Amino acid sequence: MNISGSLFAQAVVSAANHIINEKSKVDELNVFPVPDGDTGTNMSMTMQGGKKAVEALEDTAPVGEVAKAFATALLRGARGNSGVILSLLFRGFSKGLKGREEANGSDVAYALKLGVEGAYKAVMNPTEGTILTVARLAGEAGEDAAM
């Protein structure tokens, strides 16, 4: 099954809504590497901009265009370290889908890999046990599933 721009848009809007609705739970989980309790808040604020950008697109927008609009809005609206890292993950992801009308499993796995690589490179001292680890493991699972 391929992922259309419309389906990808629905997925990121759903993800944004979930993070927005559960931000206090994510804040409570935020104990490592710095227990400042704002990861959920920062991620929800970051995702709100991405959600608005995607909702403004036509339903017929290709997946590459949706990914780029989402990533650009995340970067512009990033809040805190977690928001910046989230935006960098999607920046790389969007590069992997550039020019795509639809995406198949291999395309998504490649995009995840680019997102993870970009985020790890951007963080001065990448620490395991953070959003980076979750993204890396998701990327590895995506690669395994695409084979």
* Residue range of the domain that includes 126: 5-28+35-146
Q: Is 114 helix (H, G, I), strand (E, B) or coil?
A: helix
> Domain total for the chain?
1
Question: Tens digits of per-residue pLDDT, 12-70?
Answer: 999 999 999 999 998 888 766 667 788 899 999 999 999 999 999 999 999 999 999 99
Supply the pLDDT for residue 129.
82
When pLDDT is averaged across residues 4-15 and rounded to a whole number, the result is 98
List, in order, residues 6 or more apart from 11 with CB less than 8 Å away: 3
Supply the pLDDT for residue 32.
66
